[in-house]
A and B are shown apart, each in its own frame.
Chain A
Amino acid sequence: MTFNKSLLIPLGVFALLVVFLALGFRLQNPHLLPSVLIDKPFPEFELEDLRQPDQLRTLADLSGEVSLVNVWATWCPNCLIEHPELLRISRETDLPLYGVNYNDDNGKALDWLARHENPYEFSIVDDKGTLAIDLGVYGAPETFVLDASGVIRFRHVGPVTPEVWQETILPVVEHLQGMSDG
């Protein structure tokens, strides 16, 4: 009886399949989408400032140093959850924090900021969600880290908790600040 090696092919294919399925367990949460704008410049925009409606904000207002851009809204429960941490970041670090008020109502947004305090240098009114789409945003809250020349270097989806800040965002910020200083 000769052993026909081609009979091992099904087993081989199966083994390969198992390897991939096993590796599949280490994958990220299926709800999280990686950003395709990493290392790309922040999109151009021309939108109203939330507190000073007659003033228009553009990309130039965001450049110059390493900064954070936070997409938030009054209808978003997680935004309230991350708010204390954002306040702390704005108080304790000199990192500029800019807000994008996403698909919201100006009146409600101003009320919200008055009630919960305002951590942002300024907030941009994105009531149609066009800037959010240009950013590849699919839900709130989302937080972007920009380097000094206005290029997106990192995106975090979901609330910024102290752990998230400490373990994922701060290292990126420090790395970028080190680069722009040196």
Chain B
Amino acid sequence: MIPEFGHFSLILALGLSVALAVLPALGVYRRDSLLMQTGPSIATGLFVLLAFSFGCLMYSFIQDDFSVAYVANNSNSALPLQYKISAVWGAHEGSFLLWTLIASGWTLAVAAFSRGLTFDMKARVLSVLGILCAGFASFLLFTSNPFDRNLPFYPADGGDLNPLLQDFGLIVHPPMLYMGYVGFAVPFALAIATLTTGRLDAAWARWSRPWTNAAWAFLTVGITLGSWWAYYELGWGGWWFWDAVENASFMPWLMGIALIHSLAASEKRGVFKSWTVLLAISTFSLSLLGAFLVRSGVLTSVHAFAVDPTRGVYILVFLVLVIGGSLTLYAWKASGIQSEAQFEWNSREAMLLINNLLLVVATASVLLGTLYPLLYEVITDGKKISVGPPYFNRVFVPIVCLLFVAMAVSPFSRWRRTSGDVLLRQHWPFLLATPVVICLVTYLVATGIDLIAIGVETLAVWILVLLARHWWQAGSISSASQLGMMLAHAGIAVAILGVVVTITYSEGRDVRMNPGESIALAGYDFTFEGVQKVRGPNYLADQAEFNVTRDGEFVAKLRPEKRFYSVAQNVMTEADMEPGLMRDVYVALGEKVGDTAWAVRVHVKPFVRWIWLGGLLVALGGFVTLLDKRYRRVRGLVSNNVVGTAA
């Protein structure tokens, strides 16, 4: 019965989302204040229904109800409980139910926490969010129902969750990603709502900022976790492959950064207002495009969900309606919006403009590279081409280095104009000392001097050093917003350092080893003790033991495994590593070679953890800005520019 309850709840949720789309909007049209205020209660009901539906699906997993097709395809009675739960979002239908639930969650949050919005604006915003929720719910019901039963012949046991997904990463990575993807619907809805009023003012920007920062911070966590998960799970020491699915999350993230900065300029200086609206539409559009790419089968990827063209067509139609509709509205309504104050080339506005322009170029480049194989195949009628990491690295890195330069100097810029050569006059000793110190350290510690690495490291350290100098000069941090900015910028610098050091100075070797043999790498000694058979809850494994020492001192005992999952008939390499702040020591087990020897992969990866620690620091910065007191004060007057009631 429970799956039927879940299904029914989903149907009711569709109904409510349509109501949410229609009733408040009707209230705006008819200037009926009562109708306008129905939004929050409908939103509450919508969330409750979806949460219940999601709960029913989770219950089916926990109870091993294999009469539900989705459960049978993705679970197994021998699956550990935590993976049964996370299997709920392990494949397309369930993960999209989670997506829709999160959408209703953000909608409810907007309904609850928008005391600063007029009734009119709130109604418009909730209406837009209702349209989106209705779209998601109908997609679920008509093409991807997680509650489909496979009666009357259902299997005695399930097909098991893909062993790659039986991991902590699955528990956290998708929910965080979806919080980010879907969260961008809020600034999107605010932008659309504002366009419909025909009036673009600083209030819109102020309302949008906390929502944008929160969504972006969640997406940062999601991407960071994804990279970390790939690193320890996939067994070859990589953490980013510019895979279509990774890019699908990276593009809204990049655009989100542009949006955050542009909103700041729009709120504080009233500049770029029309452009910021376009950014808000584009960021969420990239989220939707990402969902399309991952779920439609149009692009090739290990991560992509199973191919089903019907779903792809449905999502594409949804994209056309939502994005096409919003861009049409933009073209029509944004014409009348003039903003621009004027600023000088070294002002904060100019810095933010650089930020936006470079990020848009970077995003467009990633989009071009991601879609190019598809475009090429369509145009040449069948010829295939690949665009991979060499292209993306070559194109993306220089653009982003320019951005780092701007980032380093930006704390010193002032709105409208920055006086004189503040930067050079006051800070030149630090700027000059940085590359010198880095060269010295590299010479003493590392195996060789790589000029590009030194250059990028210099940029990253400049960012950190200048942030610190700025703080020192100011004496104190004036607000949570400023603290958040500093943490986020520092986090980026930390992550950059991690990336550049690990790429340049990692060492790895694939070797054939017999038990008892030892290999030296980057100052560490790896001694292969032997291999034994080990049994897990749903797998059988060959487990190797390695003793890692450095200068005779014990560092770690590593136990990489080669696992055989009996149900899925799949072999998995489970690498083992000794994590450290300054370096990771990493071993993966290959195939048996001959009678006694094994193929083994050994890595020493310096600074790799800095990448994800940096990422988490960035996210923390994003969340910290939400604590700013201006968001907590309930304003008596809604905003300076709004006079009278809804127009």
**Is A25 in contact with B312, judged by CB distance below 8 angstroms?**
yes
The answer to whether B335 and A14 touch across the interface, beta carbons within 8 angstroms, is no
- Distance of A8 Cα from B316 Cα, bound (Å): 20
**B627 interface residue, CB < 8 Å from A?**
no
> What is the distance, in angstroms, from A139's C-beta to the closest C-beta of chain B?
15
Question: Considering the chains assembled together, what is the distance between the CA atoms of A45 and B115 in angstroms?
Answer: 78
Whole-angstrom distance between the Cβ of B315 and the nearest chain A Cβ:
10
From known contacts A7-B335, A20-B374, A30-B300, infer whether A25 and B323 are also in contact, taking CB-CB under 8 Å. Answer: no
Report whether A18 and B316 are in contact in the complex, using a CB–CB cutoff of 8 Å.
Answer: yes
Nearest CB of chain B from residue A30's CB, rounded to whole Å: 4
Given contacts A21-B298, A34-B383, A34-B384, contact A27 B377 (CB under 8 A): yes
Decide yes or no whether A10 CB sits under 8 A from chain B.
yes
Check A18 against B331 for contact (C-beta < 8 Å).
no
Q: Does A23 contact B (CB under 8 A)?
A: yes
A25 and B298 CA atoms in complex are apart in Å by 6
Cβ of B229 to closest chain A Cβ, rounded Å:
24
The prevalent SS among residues of B at the interface is helix
Cross-chain contact of B371 among A8, A11, A20 (Cβ < 8 A) = A20
Chain A minimum-CB-distance residue to B312: A25
Distance A14 CA – B286 CA, assembled complex (angstroms): 11
The reply to whether A7 and B382 form a contact with Cβ atoms under 8 Å apart is: no
In whole angstroms, what is the CA distance A3 to B319 when docked?
A: 25
Q: Is the CB of B278 within 8 A of A10?
A: yes
- Docked complex Cα distance between A8 and B371 (Å): 22
Report A13-28 CB contacts with B as 1/0, cut-off 8 Å. Answer: 0110110111111011
Q: Which residue of A lies closest to B375 (CB)?
A: A20
Say whether B521 faces chain A, with CB atoms less than 8 Å apart.
no
| Minimal beta-carbon separation of A86 from chain B (angstroms) | 26
Quick one: which of A3, A11, A23 contacts B335, CB cutoff 8 A?
Answer: A3
Complex Cα–Cα for A36 and B336 (A): 54
Q: Which B117-174 residues have C-beta < 8 A from chain A?
A: none
Q: List CB contacts (< 8 Å) of B177-203 with chain A.
A: none
Total cross-chain contacts (CB, 8 A): 63
Task: Answer whether residue A2 sits at the interface, using C-beta atoms and an 8 A cutoff.
Answer: yes
Residues of A24-40 whose CB lies within 8 A of B: 24-25, 27-28, 30, 33-34
Quick one: given A2-B335, A15-B324, are A24 and B374 in contact (CB under 8 Å)?
yes
Q: Does B599 have its Cβ within 8 Å of any Cβ on chain A?
A: no
Is the beta-carbon distance between B328 and A11 smaller than 8 angstroms? yes
Q: Which of B328, B335, B378 contacts A4 (CB 8 A)?
A: B335
Cα–Cα distance between A102 and B285 once the two chains are bound (Å): 48
Minimum C-beta distance from A32 to chain B (A) = 9
Give the docked Cα–Cα distance between A4 and B335 (Å): 6
Establish whether residues A33 and B384, one from each chain, have CB atoms under 8 Å apart when the complex forms.
Answer: yes
Q: Shortest distance in angstroms between A26's beta carbon and chain B's nearest beta carbon?
A: 8
The answer to whether B324 and A23 touch across the interface, beta carbons within 8 angstroms, is: no
For residues 247 through 303 of chain B, which have their beta carbon under 8 Å from a beta carbon of chain A?
278, 281-282, 285, 292, 296-298, 300
Digitize A93-131: 1 where CB-to-B-CB distance is under 8 Å, 0 elsewhere: 000000000000000000000000000000000000000
* Cβ of B439 under 8 Å from chain A: no
Mark B374-412 against chain A: 1 for CB-CB distance below 8 A, else 0: 110110001110000000000000000000000000000
Q: Which residue of B lies closest to A30 (CB)?
A: B300
Which residue from chain B places its CB closest to the CB of A24 in the assembled complex?
Answer: B298
A11 lies within 8 A of B331 (CB): yes
When distances are taken between beta carbons in the complex, the residues of chain A under 8 Å from B334 are: 4, 7
Residues of A within 8 A of B383 (CB): 34
Q: Which of B524-557 contact A (CB under 8 A)?
A: none
- A22 & B316 in contact (Cβ 8 Å cutoff): yes
From A10, A21, A23, B327 is in contact (CB under 8 Å) with A10
Is A133's CB within 8 Å of the partner chain B?
A: no
CB atoms of A7 and B298 under 8 A apart:
no
- What residues of A have a CB within 8 angstroms of the CB of B300 in the complex? 30
B308 CB to nearest A CB, Å: 11
**Does A14 lie within 8 Å of B327, measured CB to CB?**
yes
| With known contacts A18-B319, A24-B298, A34-B384, A7–B312 Cβ distance under 8 A | no
How long is the Cα–Cα vector from A33 to B324 in the complex, in angstroms?
A: 34
Of A10, A18, A23, most B-chain CB atoms within 10 Å: A10
Complex CA distance for A11 and B331, rounded to whole angstroms:
8
Whether A7 touches B331, Cβ cut-off 8 Å, given contacts A18-B319, A20-B371, is yes
Cβ–Cβ contact B331 & A27, under 8 A: no
Residue in contact with B309 in the complex, picked from A3, A10, A25, A30, CB distance below 8 Å: A25
Does B432 interact with chain A (Cβ within 8 Å)?
no
B335: which A residues are within 8 A, CB to CB? 1-4, 7
Asked if A10 contacts B330 (CB within 8 A), the reply is yes
| B312-339 at interface with A (beta carbon < 8 Å) | 312-313, 316, 319-320, 323-324, 327-328, 330-331, 334-336
Q: Are B319 and A23 in contact (CB under 8 A)?
A: no
Contacts of A30 in B (CB 8 A): 297, 300
Q: Chain B's nearest CB lies how many Å from the CB of A131? A: 23
B331 contacts across to A, CB distance below 8 A: 7-8, 10-11
CA distance A14 to B377 in the complex (A): 19
Contacts of A22 in B (CB 8 A): 316
Annotate B618-637 by CB proximity to A: 1 below 8 A, 0 otherwise. 00000000000000000000
Return chain A residues, CB-CB under 8 Å to B282.
Answer: 10
Residue from A1, A23, A33 in contact with B378 in the complex, judged by beta carbons closer than 8 Å: A23
Q: How far is the CB of B337 from chain A (nearest CB, A)?
A: 10
Against A, the Cβ 8 Å flags (1 = close, 0 = not) of B459-503 are 000000000000000000000000000000000000000000000
For B298, the chain A residues whose CB sits under 8 A away are 21, 24-25, 27
- Which residue on B lies nearest to A22, using beta carbons? B316
Most buried by B among A20, A21, A34: A21
Proximity string of chain A (61-72) to chain B, C-beta cutoff 8 Å, 1 when within and 0 when not? 000000000000
Point out the residues of chain A lying under 8 angstroms from B278, CB to CB. 10
Identity of the chain A residue whose Cβ is nearest the Cβ of B319 in the assembled complex = A18
Q: Which residues on A sit within 8 Å (CB–CB) of B312? A: 25
Residues of B within 8 A of A15 (CB): 324
Q: How far is the CA of A112 from the CA of B384 in the complex (A)?
A: 36
Contacting residues, chain A, for B330 (C-beta < 8 A): 7, 10-11
Q: Would you give 26 A-B contacts (Cβ < 8 Å), ordered by A?
A: A3-B335, A7-B334, A7-B335, A10-B281, A10-B282, A10-B330, A11-B327, A11-B330, A11-B331, A14-B285, A14-B323, A14-B327, A15-B324, A18-B320, A18-B324, A20-B374, A20-B378, A21-B292, A21-B316, A22-B316, A25-B309, A27-B298, A27-B374, A28-B382, A30-B300, A33-B384
> What 8 pairs across the A-B complex have the smallest Cβ distances?
A11-B327, A7-B331, A30-B300, A24-B298, A1-B336, A23-B378, A8-B331, A4-B335
- Enumerate chain B interface residues (CB-CB to A < 8 A): 278, 281-282, 285, 292, 296-298, 300, 309, 312-313, 316, 319-320, 323-324, 327-328, 330-331, 334-336, 371, 374-375, 377-378, 382-384
Beyond the given A10-B327, A10-B330, could you list 11 further A-B residue pairs with CB under 8 A, ordered by the A residue number?
A: A1-B336, A3-B335, A7-B335, A11-B324, A14-B285, A14-B323, A18-B320, A20-B371, A25-B309, A28-B382, A34-B382
